[in-house]
Amino acid sequence: MSLLEIKNVKLKLDDKDILKGLSLSVSKGEVHAIMGPNGSGKSTLSYMLAGRDGYELESGEVFLEGQSLSDMEADERARSGLFLAFQYPVELPGVGGMSFLREAVNSRRKFLGEEELDHLAFVKEARKVASKMFVKDEMLKRAVNVGFSGGEKKRFEILQMAMLKPKVSILDETDSGLDVDALKIVSDGVNAQRNDDNAIVVITHYQRLLDYIVPDFVHILSDGSIIKSGGPELALEVEKNGYAGLINAA
Amino acid sequence: MLHNVRDNYIISVKDHVSQFEEKSFRKLASNDFKRWPSPREETWRFSRLGVLSRKEITPIKPNFKKQISSVSKFKGSKIISFVDGAFREDLSSKLPPGSSLNILGEEDSLMCFHKFKNSNLKNHPSTNVSFSCTPSIVKLTIEKDVKIRDIFEIIYEGGDNNLSVHPALYIELKDNSSITIIERFNHLSSLTMPLQLVELRKNASMNSLKIFNDNQQSYNLSANCTFLSEKSNYNSFSLIKGGLFTRSETHAYLKGENCNLNLNGVYLSSKNQHHDLTTAIYHDVPNCSSKQIVRGVLGGKATGVFQGKVRVAPDAQKTDGQQMSRAILLSENAIANAKPELEIYADDVICAHGATVGEIDDEQLFYLKSRGISEKNAKQILITAFLRDIINQSVEKSIQNFVFEEAELALSEIISKEI
C-alpha cells in the first residue's frame, strides 16, 4: 500500500483551475521530487495536502496510509503523520520556540497513544535534535521565526520535522533563500530522517537541492498536472534544457 | 440647544463644595461642571456618559477608619493606600529615603488645578468634579538623583454603590531620579474619577503600570496629565480589564528635547464591558520620540475604544512618533473602535500609524494547525502570544510576568466563553 496516494485531484482557486487531475503515488522509503516552473501549481499542491482552508478539492481524493484526507482538518492530518515544511515559515510573535515545539510534539504523541513528554524530558530531547540541526538553544527561546534569517527559518522547519517524526513530509521550496552552506545543513538534516518507514516529497524549482537530497523519482508538474515522471536524470534534463523543452514535448 | 436634564449629580457636587470657602480651588472647579460630555463632542463620541446623568450618584464622604487590608500583589512592594479616594497613611508602607508623600495645601492644589485647566483635559469631567470633591491632593516626590529600587504599589480601594470616588495624585520626579509605580484600581463604587498629574524633571525616568480592575458595576474615568522635561523618559502601560465602563485618558506634553514617551496598553473586555484608552501626545519641541502600541481582545457584547492623537508643533522637527493599534474580536457582537489622529505641523518628522480590527490571523492559525495543534489550542496560543508580545515590548523585565499573570486571568475568562 502506498503511504501517500493522490488520485486525479482537481482544485480551483478563485474560480481558476489550478490542479487539473494530478495523480501521484508515494511508497515507504521513497523520496519524490516534484519540479515545475512558476505558476504550475506547486504551492497549491502543498497547501492542498496540508489541508489549508480554501484549498478543498473539487474532485479526486488523497489517502494517507489508505485513509482519506478529505474530511480531515489540517491539525488532524498533521497528527496522523503528514508534515509540511513551509516555503515561507510564519512568524509567531510572542510564541516561544520551545513551548511551540512541545505543544506540537505532545499533540502528535497524544494522538499516537504515547505518553506526553514532561518539560524536562522534552527540553533534553529538543536540545539534542536542535544541536544536530545547528539550531542554538538561544533560538529556541525566541519567538517562533521572529527575526530569524532565511536559513534559520528553514533549519527550524526541519527541526520540527525531526521532532514530529512524520510519515510523509512535504518540503515546499525548502531551498529558496538558502546559501550553499545553509543548503547543506538543511539537506543533511532531511537526509538523516530518511528511513524505510517514511517518505519525503520535495517540491522545488531548481535541480540544485536534488544534488543534496537525491530523489528516487522526479516528476515534472506543469499547468496543474504531472506531465512526465522519471528518475534523478530527469532533474538534470530540466537543468540543461529548462522546463520549456519538456513541456512542449508533452 | 435646550437641555433640560435635571442632573442630581451636579447638584450633589455643588452641595459638597458649599462647605468650602469661596476662594477655594474646589469651588473654582465645580463652577465649570455643568453637564456630562455629549456624544457630539468628538472625544466622547464612542464612549457615552449620558447614562450617568440618570443615576443617583453622590460624592463619597471618606471613612478614614474604614478597615481594609490593602493586599500587595507584587512581592516586596511599598504600598501606598487610598481608600474612598483618601490617602491612608495608616495602611501605607514607610517609604524609602529620597521619596516622600505630602498632602498639598490650598496654594499647591490650586497650582495643580491650573495645570489641568491649561491642558486639553480642561473639559474632562474628572478635572472639574474631582478637584471639587477630592479629600485632598496627595503629592509623591522623588528627590534629585534618587533611583528608587523598590516598586511602589498604589492601591485604590473602597467606594460603594452610587457613590463617586475622587483620588488625586501629583507625582514629581526631580532631576535624574527614577521609579517604577504600579497602580491598581479596585473600587466597589459606581463612579471613580482619578486625577493624576505627573511631572518629570530633567533626565528623570518613570515606569508606570496601571491596572484597572474595579468591580463589574463600576465606572472609571481616569484623567492623567503628564509633563516631560529634557531627556526624561516616561514608560506607561495600562491594563484595562475590570469595570462596566472604564476610560483611561492620558495627555502627555513633551516639553524638553530628547525625551522619550511610551504610552502602551491592553484592554480585555467581555460581557457588556466598555473599555476606552484615549491618549493625546503633544510634541512641542524637537528631537523627541513617542510610541504607542495598543491591543485589545474582546468577547461577548463588549466594546473597545482606542483614540490616539499625536500633535507635532511647527518647531518640533526630528520628531519620531509611532502608533499602532490592533483589536481581536472573538465574538460577533463585540465592537472595537479605533481612531488615530495625527496633526503634524513640522516637516522633518517620522510619524507612522496603523490600526486593525479583526479576527485571529489565518496564516498563523494554519501554521499551528499544520503542526498538529487543534484549532482551539492554536487560537489560545495565538491570543496569549498577542498579549505576551505587547507586554514584553512595553514593560520592564522585572514586572513582565506580574503583568502577564494579571492579564491572563481576564483573558482566560474571555477565551473560555468564546473559543
Residues 6+ apart with CB under 8 A from B83: B62, B63, B66, B68, B70, B91, B157, B158
Chain B contact set for A157 (CB, 8 A): none
Mean pLDDT for chain A overall: 93
Rounded to an integer, what distance in angstroms lies between the CA atom of residue A219 and that of residue A226?
6
Measured between CB atoms, which of A53, A86, A103 is closest to B373? A103
d(CA A33, CA A45): 13
Give the count of beta carbons closer than 10 Å to the beta carbon of residue A82: 27
Of B369, B374, B385, the CB nearest to A92: B385
Q: How many CA atoms lie within 13 A of A143 on its CB side?
A: 19
Strands B99-103 and B137-142: antiparallel
Question: Are the Cβ atoms of B373 and A51 closer than 8 angstroms?
Answer: no
Asked if A92 has any chain B CB less than 8 Å from its own CB, the reply is yes
What residues have CB less than 8 Å from A188, skipping those under 6 apart?
A: A212
Q: What angle do CA B413, B298, B54 make, to 5 degrees?
A: 100
**Under an 8 A CB cutoff, do B370 and A50 touch?**
yes
Q: How many residues does chain A have?
A: 250
Q: Find out whether B158 and B215 touch, Cβ atoms under 8 Å.
A: no
Residue B199's domain spans which residues? 8-256
Residues 6+ apart with CB under 8 A from A139: A97, A130, A148, A152, A156
Q: Closest partner residue to B373 among A84, A94, A104, by Cβ? A: A104
Q: Please report the ipTM that was assigned to this predicted complex.
A: 0.97
For residue B23, give every residue at least 6 positions away whose Cβ sits within 8 Å of its Cβ, in sequence order, or none: none
Across the interface, do B392 and A108 touch by the CB < 8 Å criterion? Answer: no
Q: Report if residue B404 sits inside a domain.
A: no
Residue B396 maps to a domain: no
Q: What is the pLDDT of residues B326-359, one digit of tens each?
A: 999 999 999 999 999 999 999 999 999 999 999 9
How far is Cα of residue A180 from the mean position of the Cα atoms in its chain?
Answer: 20
A/B interface, count of CB pairs below 8 Å = 79
Q: Would residue B349 count as lying in a domain?
A: no
| Residue A108 contacts B where some CB pair is shorter than 8 Å | yes
Q: What is the CA radius of gyration of chain A?
A: 18
Question: Which residues numbered 355-374 in B keep a CB inside 8 Å of some CB on A?
Answer: 362-364, 366-374
B372: left (phi over 0), alpha (psi -120 to 50) or beta: left
Could you identify the residue written with the cell 527541526?
A159
Kindly report, residue by residue over A169-215, the tens digit of the pLDDT.
Answer: 999 999 988 889 889 999 999 999 999 999 999 999 888 899 999 99
Q: Which ranges constitute the DSSP H helices of A12-73?
A: 42-50
Which chain B residues have a beta carbon less than 8 Å from that of A100? 368, 371, 381
Dihedral sign (CA B196, B197, B200, B201):
negative
Distance from CA of A166 to the nearest CA of B (A): 10
DSSP letters spanning A111-140: HHTPPPPPHHHHHHHHHHHHHHTT--HHHH
At residue A115, what is the residue type? Answer: E
- Per the confidence metrics, is the pTM higher than 0.80? yes
Write out residues 384-413 of B within 8 Å (CB-CB) of A: 384-389, 392
Taking a C-beta distance cutoff of 8 angstroms, is the pair B40, B68 a contact?
A: no
Whether A174 and A153 have beta carbons less than 8 Å apart is answered as: no
**pLDDT value of position A94:** 92
Q: Which of A235-239, A244-248, B317-321 has the lowest mean pLDDT?
A: A244-248
From residue B15, how far is each of A33, A231, B166 by CA, in Å? 85, 94, 16
Spell out which residues of chain B touch residue A163, defining contact as CB-CB under 8 Å. Answer: none
Q: Which residue of B has its CA nearest to A86?
A: B367
- Contact at CB, B367 and A78, closer than 8 angstroms: no
Query: For position B71, what pLDDT does the model report?
Result: 85
A88-97, A130-139, A152-161: least confident range: A130-139
The pLDDT score that the predictor gives to residue A247 is 80
Q: Does B302 fall in a domain? A: no
* Choice between A133 and B92, residue whose per-residue pLDDT is larger: B92
Match 530628547 to its residue by C-alpha cell: B258
CA-wise closest residue to A212 among A241, A234, A190, A179: A190
Q: Is B126 a member of any domain?
A: yes
Disruptive mutation site among A72, A82, A90 for chain B (greatest number of B CBs within 10 Å)? A90
Q: Give me the helices (H) in chain A, please.
A: 42-50, 74-79, 97-112, 119-132, 137-141, 150-164, 180-192, 208-212, 233-249
Residues A90, B367: C-beta atoms closer than 8 Å: yes
Of chain A, the end-to-end C-alpha distance in Å amounts to 29
Chain A residues with CB-CB distance to B392 below 8 A = 94
Kindly determine whether residue B375 and residue A75, on different chains, have CB atoms separated by under 8 Å.
Answer: yes
Among residues B167, B302, B161, B324, which one has the least CA distance to residue B242?
A: B302
Asked if the structure places residue B23 within a domain, the reply is: yes
Distance from CA of B328 to the nearest CA of A (A): 15
Mutation site for A-interface testing, chosen from B295, B324, B369, B392 by largest number of A Cβ within 10 Å? B369
How many Cβ atoms are within 10 Å of B36's Cβ, its own excluded?
21
CB B287 within 8 A of CB B260: no
Say if B379 falls within a structural domain: no
Interface of A with B in 141-170 (CB under 8 A): 143, 160, 164
Closest of B254, B240, B102 to residue B171, by C-alpha: B102
Task: Quote the number of domains for chain B.
Answer: 1
With an 8 Å Cβ cutoff, is B22 touching chain A? no
Which residue in chain A has the smallest CA separation from B387? A94
Per-residue pLDDT of chain B (419 residues), as tens digits, is: 344 456 788 888 988 899 888 888 898 888 888 889 988 999 999 999 988 888 889 999 998 888 887 789 999 999 999 999 999 999 999 999 999 999 999 999 999 999 999 999 999 999 999 999 999 999 999 999 999 999 999 999 999 999 999 999 999 999 999 999 999 999 997 899 999 999 999 999 999 999 999 999 999 999 999 999 999 999 999 999 999 999 999 999 999 999 999 999 999 999 999 999 999 999 999 999 999 999 999 999 999 999 999 999 999 999 999 999 999 999 999 999 999 999 999 999 999 999 999 999 999 999 999 999 999 999 999 999 999 999 999 999 999 999 999 999 999 999 999 88
What integer pLDDT is reported at residue B2 of this predicted model?
A: 40
Q: Are A203 and A45 in contact (CB under 8 A)?
A: yes
Q: Is residue B167 part of a domain?
A: yes
Which pLDDT belongs to residue B1? 37
Q: Is the CB of A73 inside 8 Å of chain B's CB atoms?
A: yes
Dist CA B67 CA B65 (whole Å)? 6
Model pLDDT, residue B6: 63
- DSSP assignment letter at B91: G
Which domains are seen in chain A, by residue range? 4-95+167-249 (3.40.50.300)
Q: Which three cell numbers stand for residue A180?
A: 550553499
B-facing residues of A in 116-145 (CB < 8 A) are 143
Cell numbers given for B59: 460624592
Q: Is B333 helix (H, G, I), strand (E, B) or coil?
A: coil
* Residues B140, B170: Cα–Cα separation, whole Å: 6
Sequence-distant (6+) residues with CB within 8 A of B207 are B179, B180, B181, B235, B236, B395, B396, B399
Classify B111 as helix, strand or coil: helix
Residue B267's closest CA among B413, B387, B415, B394? B387
CB contact under 8 A, B366 and A53: yes
Chain-chain contact of B375 with A164 (C-beta, under 8 angstroms): no
Which of B362, B364, B369 is closest, CB to CB, to A75? B369
Q: Which three cell numbers stand for residue A143?
A: 519567538
* Nearest residue on chain B to A85, alpha-carbon basis: B370
Q: Are B295 and B326 in contact (CB under 8 A)?
A: yes
CA distance A67 to chain B (A): 17
